[in-house]
Amino acid sequence: MKTRKILILKFSALGDVVHTLPVAATIRKSLPDSYIAWMVEERYQDLLLGNPDVDEVIPLRTKVWRKNWNSKSLFEILHTIKTLRRQNFDLVLDLHGLLKSGIIARLSGAPTRIGFHQKNCKEKINALFTNQKAPYMAGGLHVVDMYLKLLQTALGKVEETKLFPLQVPSEIDEKVAHFFNQNPELTYRPVIGINPGAGFESKQWEGVRFAELADRICEELKCSILLTWGPGEKFKAQQISAHMKQKSWMAPPTSILESIALYKRMALLVSCDSGPLHLVAALGIPTVSIFGPTDPVRNGAYGANHKVVYKVLSCSFCWKKTCPLGTKECMQQVTVDEVFQAVKRDYHI
């Protein structure tokens, strides 16, 4: 294999970008002298800060462009395309399987464009824009392993490097450390985080159940509870706190880098299928997750020391953002005791 200029296309969301990190790590180990660029949505580019496996980060602003469609947006889009073409990439890895990623792969001018088999593409039309396809991948594979299989279509049989390098600048770490110093009682006992948010409504568990779970963790496992939240989710954490009988702590507002520094200080995280779940798993911290409409085999926390609680129903893993039945039965059937017992096992009490 000769040295190549390689472009990775994985724009979003938080968990998906985290799941792609082993692709860059494997390329770097297999082709140490290659030039690796990664195109990512601007709001997620901090996940690649200081990454030793990425030579260049090319930010996208599609969310901004959609909301503000004007001459400035058009100029930015054209500039981004010119930047891509000037690089003369040899190889593009389209790890999305979307129409937009296919178009960008084609506009890059790279002679080799690797993509998913049409049946694995999220949008089938994507297959028109790639000229080499990974073999069809049936169910039962985690998305991390799917990405690495696609990479093997480009590089052949290579040794997989399943590393998730996530760097935090010292000033960010110190800022988060200040929060813990300001709340010394929080750290008197091991800290277990609860993250109630999720990307869409059907993946969310009831706040009152999280509150009951948190009380049991405090009382029976003698741990402190830190409630974490992302943009637009603070009210969920506040609702849990209001329903709790035991004391809990509310995390401060955090950027992506600050949230990494925050989660590094936890003993365990309880979450639904969300970006923070995958961030914490990548940090090597145990997790307990609650799944319903999404498949934990494909999209669960990756690696060891992770427990998942879910029910297999006739309608399980529908991937719908809103429950088609209007009941969220797959989430409703998961009990507080089932999640607590998973926490107890994962925390090795």
d(CA 35, CA 90): 10
- The per-residue pLDDT for 1 is 54
pLDDT score at 194: 98
pLDDT-based confidence at 2, cuts 50/70/90? low
Higher pLDDT: 211 or 69? It is 211
pLDDT of 66 above 80: no
Sheet with strand 112-115: strands edge to edge: 56-60, 35-41, 5-9, 91-94, 112-115, 132-133
Rounded to a whole number of angstroms, the CA Rg of the chain reads 21
Domain with residues 171-346, CATH architecture: 3-Layer(aba) Sandwich (3.40)
Q: Mind listing the pLDDT tens digit for each residue in 222-251? A: 999 999 999 999 999 999 999 999 999 999
Tokens of 109: 């001018």
Least confident of 18-22, 35-39, 138-142: 138-142
In the chain the first and final C-alpha atoms are separated, in Å, by: 49
pLDDT for the residue 239: 97
Cβ atoms of residues 226 and 196 within 8 Å: no
Amino acid identity of residue 42, one-letter, is E
Average pLDDT over residues 132-137: 97
For residue 62, give every residue at least 6 positions away whose Cβ sits within 8 Å of its Cβ, in sequence order, or none: 11, 41, 100
Structure confidence by residue, pLDDT tens digits, 68-114: 777 777 788 888 888 888 999 999 999 999 999 999 999 999 999 99
DSSP letter (8 states) at residue 309: E
Our CA dihedral for 92, 57, 156, 107, rounded to 10 degrees, sits at 0
pLDDT value of position 253: 96
Amino acid at 119: K
Backbone angle region of 250, left / alpha / beta, with phi > 0 → left and psi within -120 to 50 → alpha: beta
Give the residue, 19 or 82, on which the prediction is more confident: 19
Question: Does the model's pTM come out above 0.75?
Answer: yes
Residue 349 clears pLDDT 80, i.e. is over it: no
Pairwise CA distance, residues 245 & 70, whole Å:
52
Segment 167-189 mean pLDDT: 97
- Is the Cβ–Cβ distance between 255 and 43 less than 8 Å? no
Residue 37 pLDDT greater than 60, yes or no: yes
Query: Is pLDDT of 173 > 90?
Result: yes
Q: Is the pLDDT of residue 33 over 90?
A: yes
Please name the residues in contact with 285: beta carbons below 8 A apart, sequence gap of 6 or more. 263, 264, 266, 267, 268, 269
Across the range 288-303, mean pLDDT stands at: 96
Ranges in the chain annotated CATH 3.40.50.2000: 5-155, 171-346
- Contact in structure between 192 and 347 (CB atoms under 8 Å): yes
pLDDT of 67 reads: 78
If pLDDT is split at 50, 70 and 90, which confidence band does 27 have? Answer: very high
* 105 within 8 A of 115, measured Cβ to Cβ: yes
String of DSSP letters for 90-148 = SEEEE-S-SHHHHHHHHHTT-SEEEE--GGG-SSGGGGGS-SEEPPP--SS--HHHHHH
Cα 59 to Cα 41: distance, rounded to the nearest angstrom? 5
Residue-level pLDDT at 174: 97
pLDDT at 117 over 90: yes
Task: Check residue 72 and give its pLDDT.
Answer: 78
pLDDT in tens, 181-200: 999 999 999 999 999 999 88
Kindly report the CATH class assigned to 5-155.
alpha beta
